[in-house]
């Protein structure tokens, strides 16, 4: 008899460290124009932003909850606290950040990572950014990296032109919610031709129980610019459900290249209903690297709109669904211009009753002649308590294209193990190699130094026995 390969769960002890919820201001529960006005007043926002928020709230009230995907009936929207201001001011000197908050980020390895390998760091605690710093040489080249609140005031025109233009409150219920109550997040602007060769990183931490995090990330890359942005998320587990409904808008101009990496490790009571979209102009490139490990429910489908000729999108994603998790993720690519190309590579693992769902869209519009796309999805099931589904939708509206898709589901192949064993590798090691190899695409896409976080995340211990 073969014994099944045991893959231990991710070690969450680090992330489950919770601080006493100290805050200066916390909005009332629920969603009313008064709460929205209150948030806007707290933030001392320009008037147009308040109007935008109120309009989004109206849309939110009208929109229905999606009827497909996850069951989110457990999520008590009326009782989510939409805004929690931590008891701290925004700092650009790490030592000034309050100890409690600092300790949390220290444990997560953020400051070390900054010292060693990052061009800039942002850290958000609950609804507000508590730390933001950008290396001097980047500032000199005109790179802007700051928290969204300040960007709204300091770079008002730039923000006004782009803010929620790619993701609008009309898109769905949670984008409307985001429009109404967004808070925190990062703003990145890279001028034409500037190459930010080391990554920028924002880390989002949700500490207050029963709250929602709605950070807004807006990145604009001018012509020929180049940047790598890393987003990390975590939260301790409380008995009440938390909600994350952020928005990420990426504008990639002519010939620019952006890599957007996410390591998402929200706690297992988080509803992660995030929206991410990139608009790519001529010869521009977007590369998504996405690791989904945490949350109770995730519904996340990053979209790349290839608007300019020869624009390119790449998506590499790993989803790991363990006990009690329903992770519904996938890439969306719209080929809307000639000779655009895209590659989607998704891996998912389901174990201990987890449910991994790949749901993707590939659309090629009428004028996208010469488009090339490939979608590959692989799922690994570690036991038969778990579920794994794959649903890639393809919509093709022109003839001169080359589209390929492949998907596979199954457990660790006996043949592969046998092959490795025939090469003198023990069965244990063979199985370990296969599982590691399975997640390798994402591990290899991250900068080595950044493995601080990833190492904390994936702690795979394999135990195999001789069959």
Partner 1 sequence: MYNKKLVDNLTTGQSKLLSSKRRDSFKVFEKLTKSDFNRINLFDYQFPEYSPYNKEYLKEKKWQSQIVLKKMTDNLNNEEEILNYLEEFKGKKVKKGNQGLDEKYLSMVDAFYNTGLFIKVPRNTELKLPVEIFYELDKENPVLIDNNLIVAEENSKLTIVIDYRMKDQELAAFHNGLTRVIVKENAVLNIIKVQRFNDQSDNFDSNISLVSNQGELNWIPIELGARNSVTNNENTLIDDGSRASISSVYFADGDRKLDLGFKMNHQGRHSSSEIESRGVLKDRAQKVFRGDLYFQKGAGQAKGTEKEEVLLLDKTVDSDSIPALFSEEDNVEGEHAVSAGQIDEQRLFYLMSRGMSKAEAKQLMVEAAFNPVFDKIPLNDLKGSVINEVKTRIRS
Applying CB under 8 A, the residues found at the interface with partner 1 are 366, 369, 379, 381-384, 386-411
* Alpha-carbon torsion (278, 149, 292, 178), positive or negative: negative
Closest CB to partner 1 among residues 269, 386: 386
Who's near 355: CB < 8 A, 6+ residues apart?
321, 325, 326, 327, 386, 387, 388, 389
Q: Cβ–Cβ contacts within 10 Å for residue 426, how many?
A: 12
CA-nearest of 65, 153, 192 to 163 is 153
Q: Minimum distance between the CB of residue 308 and partner 1, rounded to whole angstroms?
A: 20
Q: Cβ–Cβ contacts within 10 Å for residue 355, how many?
A: 18
Q: Are 327 and 355 in contact (CB under 8 A)?
A: yes
Who's near 289: CB < 8 A, 6+ residues apart?
259, 260, 261, 262, 316, 317, 442, 445, 446
Question: Can you tell me whether residue 139 is helix, strand or coil?
Answer: helix
Alpha carbon 229 to its chain's center: 11
Q: Minimum distance between the CB of residue 386 and partner 1, rounded to whole angstroms?
A: 7
Q: Minimum distance between the CB of residue 357 and partner 1, rounded to whole angstroms?
A: 9
Closest CB to partner 1 among residues 54, 309: 309
Q: Minimum distance between the CB of residue 414 and partner 1, rounded to whole angstroms?
A: 10
Q: Minimum distance between the CB of residue 3 and partner 1, rounded to whole angstroms?
A: 13
How far is Cα 182 from Cα 64, in angstroms, rounded to an integer?
A: 20
Closest CB to partner 1 among residues 193, 410: 410
Closest CB to partner 1 among residues 12, 335: 335
Closest CB to partner 1 among residues 26, 398: 398
Residue 406 parent element (H or E): strand 402-410
Beta bridge partners of residue 318, listed in sequence order: 291, 347
Q: Minimum distance between the CB of residue 8 and partner 1, rounded to whole angstroms?
A: 17
Closest CB to partner 1 among residues 20, 415: 415
Q: Minimum distance between the CB of residue 327 and partner 1, rounded to whole angstroms?
A: 15
Closest CB to partner 1 among residues 270, 382: 382
Task: Enter the DSSP assignment of 136.
Answer: H
How far is Cα 280 from Cα 341, in angstroms, rounded to an integer?
A: 11
Closest CB to partner 1 among residues 106, 389: 389
Q: Minimum distance between the CB of residue 443 and partner 1, rounded to whole angstroms?
A: 23
Q: Minimum distance between the CB of residue 273 and partner 1, rounded to whole angstroms?
A: 22
Phi and psi at residue 42, to the nearest 5°: -50, -40
Q: Are 310 and 435 in contact (CB under 8 A)?
A: no
How far is Cα 4 from Cα 170, in angstroms, rounded to an integer?
A: 47
**How many Cα atoms sit within 13 Å of 328 on the Cβ side?**
15
How far is Cα 88 from Cα 94, in angstroms, rounded to an integer?
A: 12
Closest CB to partner 1 among residues 338, 447: 338
Q: Are 351 and 321 in contact (CB under 8 A)?
A: yes
Q: Minimum distance between the CB of residue 400 and partner 1, rounded to whole angstroms?
A: 6
Question: Can you tell me whether residue 382 is helix, strand or coil?
Answer: coil
Q: Minimum distance between the CB of residue 377 and partner 1, rounded to whole angstroms?
A: 8
Closest CB to partner 1 among residues 408, 436: 408
Closest CB to partner 1 among residues 240, 393: 393
Q: Minimum distance between the CB of residue 383 and partner 1, rounded to whole angstroms?
A: 6
How far is Cα 325 from Cα 198, in angstroms, rounded to an integer?
A: 34
What's the token pair of residue 419? Answer: 């092959």
CA dihedral 389, 390, 395, 399 (to 10 degrees): -150
Closest CB to partner 1 among residues 112, 414: 414
| Residue owning tokens 């009440």 | 240
């Amino acid at each position: 008899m073969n014994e099944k390969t045991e893959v231990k769960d991710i070690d969450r002890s680090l992330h489950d460290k919770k601080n006493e919820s100290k805050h200066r201001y916390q909005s009332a529960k629920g969603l009313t124009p008064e709460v929205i006005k209150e948030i806007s007043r707290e933030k001392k926002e320009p008037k147009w932003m308040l109007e935008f928020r109120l309009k989004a709230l109206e849309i939110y009230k009208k929109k229905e909850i999606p009827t497909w995907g996850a069951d989110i009936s457990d999520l008590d929207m009326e009782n989510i606290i939409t805004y929690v201001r931590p008891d701290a001011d925004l700092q650009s000197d790490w030592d000034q950040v309050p100890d409690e908050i600092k300790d949390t980020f220290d444990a997560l390895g953020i400051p070390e990572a900054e010292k060693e390998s990052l061009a800039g760091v942002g850290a958000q605690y609950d609804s507000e950014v508590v730390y933001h710093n950008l290396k001097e040489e980047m500032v000199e080249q005109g790179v802007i990296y700051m928290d969204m609140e300040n960007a709204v005031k300091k770079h008002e025109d730039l923000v006004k032109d782009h803010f929620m233009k790619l993701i609008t409150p009309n898109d769905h219920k949670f984008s409307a919610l985001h429009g109404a109550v967004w808070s925190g997040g990062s703003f990145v602007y890279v001028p034409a031709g500037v190459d930010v060769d080391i990554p920028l990183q924002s880390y989002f931490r949700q500490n207050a129980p029963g709250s929602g995090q709605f950070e807004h990330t807006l990145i604009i890359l001018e012509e020929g610019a180049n940047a790598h942005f890393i987003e990390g998320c975590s939260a301790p587990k409380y008995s009440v459900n938390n909600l994350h409904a952020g928005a990420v808008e990426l504008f990639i101009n002519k010939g620019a290249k952006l890599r957007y990496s996410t390591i998402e490790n929200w706690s297992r009571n988080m509803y992660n209903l995030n929206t991410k979209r990139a608009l790519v102009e001529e010869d521009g490139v977007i590369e998504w690297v996405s690791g989904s490990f945490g949350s109770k429910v995730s519904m996340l489908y990053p979209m790349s709109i290839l608007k300019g000729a020869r624009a390119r999108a790449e998506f590499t994603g790993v989803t790991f669904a363990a006990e009690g998790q329903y992770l519904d993720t996938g890439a969306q690519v719209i080929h809307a211009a000639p000779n655009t190309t895209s590659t989607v590579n998704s891996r998912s693992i389901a174990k201990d009753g987890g449910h991994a769902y790949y749901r993707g869209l590939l659309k090629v519009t009428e004028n996208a002649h010469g488009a090339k796309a490939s979608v590959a999805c692989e799922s690994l099931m570690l036991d038969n308590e778990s579920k794994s589904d794959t649903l890639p939708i393809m919509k093709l509206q022109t003839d001169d294209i080359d589209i390929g898709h492949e998907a596979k589901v199954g457990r660790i192949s006996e043949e592969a193990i046998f092959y490795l064993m025939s090469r003198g590798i023990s069965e244990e090691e063979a199985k370990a190699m296969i599982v590691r190899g399975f997640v390798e695409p994402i591990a290899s896409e991250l900068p080595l130094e950044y493995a601080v976080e990833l190492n904390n995340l994936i702690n795979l211990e394999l135990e195999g026995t001789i069959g």
